Amino acid sequence: SLTELFSCFLKKNLIHEQVIQQLFLIFASNEFDKVSRRSSLIIISIISKSRKEVVEKRLETILKLGLGPLGQADPVIAQYTLIALQCLSLGKSRIPSENVLFARICNFVTNVCNSSNWNSVVNQAISTIFLLADRPSPILASILVEQSKEVFSSSQEMKSSKFQLGKLLLIV
């Protein structure tokens, strides 16, 4: 697989830091098209499975873009951002539930994922929380509370409410 191929390249030091820097440059730059930005993030997520420091060094950039405006507009970017974040679990104890990383993920799930196109992203977010958090239950409980408020508030339009209910059921 492509992941195994990249793993071999990394073990033999065939992928230099300049290549990784260029991938992040493409991902972070508005000058590149959507496909190029997606592709660079996918490769970053693959590399991070063998070398987690790739994500650790650039965590703020990944969060800012992948769960920020770029990720909010593109479910593929959001999903691969979450996949890249999962590498933080490699060989390390779990991250405290109070870490800002989880607040960002929760905010993203409750405020952005508002159509069925985002179901796989919601699943990925839940998996990421379970994989990384020392106590995932309180984090998911806060998402459930927020989502329940959205679903059961009377001011919602019917179409929006359907998506919110679907997301709530997906989380449960």
pLDDT-derived band at 11, boundaries 50, 70, 90: confident
pLDDT higher at 144 or 157: 144
User: In this predicted structure, what is the pLDDT of residue 5?
Assistant: 86
- Angle subtended at Cα 51 by Cα 44 and Cα 35, rounded to the nearest 5 degrees: 5
CA 52 to chain centre: 15
pLDDT-derived band at 97, boundaries 50, 70, 90: very high
Separation of alpha carbons 25 and 34, rounded Å: 13
Decide if pLDDT at 168 tops 90.
no
Q: 16-25 pLDDT, tens per residue?
A: 899 999 999 9
| pLDDT (average), residues 73-79 | 93
pLDDT higher at 164 or 69: 69
Q: Are 77 and 85 in contact (CB under 8 A)?
A: no
